[in-house]
Amino acid sequence: MKGIIFDLDGVLVFTDKFHYQAWKYVADELGAPFDETLNNRLRGVSRMESLEIILSNAALRLSKAEKERVAEQKNNSYRKLLQTLTPQAIDRDTRKTLNLLRERGLKLAIGSSSKNAPLILEKTGLAEFFDAVSDGNNITHSKPDPEVFLKAAEFLGLEPYDCTVVEDAKAGIDAAKAGGFTAIGIDDAAGYTKCDQVINRLSELVDLIWGVNYEYKNDSFTA
């Protein structure tokens, strides 16, 4: 393994509550039913696809221009909420794991469908850890299409078989497998049968990669 590509939201940082609040506001304005169960279906898919899922449960039809306006309204609300993010939103386990992976010579990239990935990386102070970022700003197809991960590998100068993808969504695992990557599932994706490996916390990557039982104590790893 020469590189690791991380999905951002749900793996390194958690902004689900912000997505939910922003989509809930939009859905209420449209009179469309929306709850946390439906919100979970939006994980790993693009903004416009998310809107289509919400509208599928609503008794109204919107023109393309109206959909674009609603999607932009949602994004504006979400970005305002993202402004409250700070580096403290990232736990020490995540930071120390990323630091160790870099120290061991692995190339690291972000593979996210979100166009807000640069803002999240900036607000949380995570940008310094990554050699490349592939996100919604440079792709035309969202997950489960593998484009975002293929672009990330290209930006790293690596082939898919040299990289592992870490994902929390089934759509992301599908994308990784479709692109020829090793797929590691975490959180909601940990129970997905298409995963090559599963982890419960990010620091378990250290054991998977090097086969050493590292213990995380006092802000550092020891064998």
User: Are residues 143 and 202 part of one domain?
Assistant: yes
- In this prediction, residue 209 carries a pLDDT of 83
User: Are residues 188 and 92 part of one domain?
Assistant: yes
- In this prediction, residue 59 carries a pLDDT of 80
User: Are residues 136 and 58 part of one domain?
Assistant: no
Q: Which residue among 28, 60, 82 closes a domain?
A: 82
Dihedral sign, Cα of residue 53, residue 200, residue 133, residue 155: negative
| Closest to 90 measured CA to CA, from 44, 131, 111, 121 | 121
Distance CA 51, CA 103 (A): 41
Under-50 pLDDT residues of the chain: 216, 221, 223
- State the residue range of the domain holding 207: 3-14+87-222
Which residues are catalytically annotated? 7, 9
Give the tens place of pLDDT for each residue, 67-81. Answer: 999 999 999 999 999
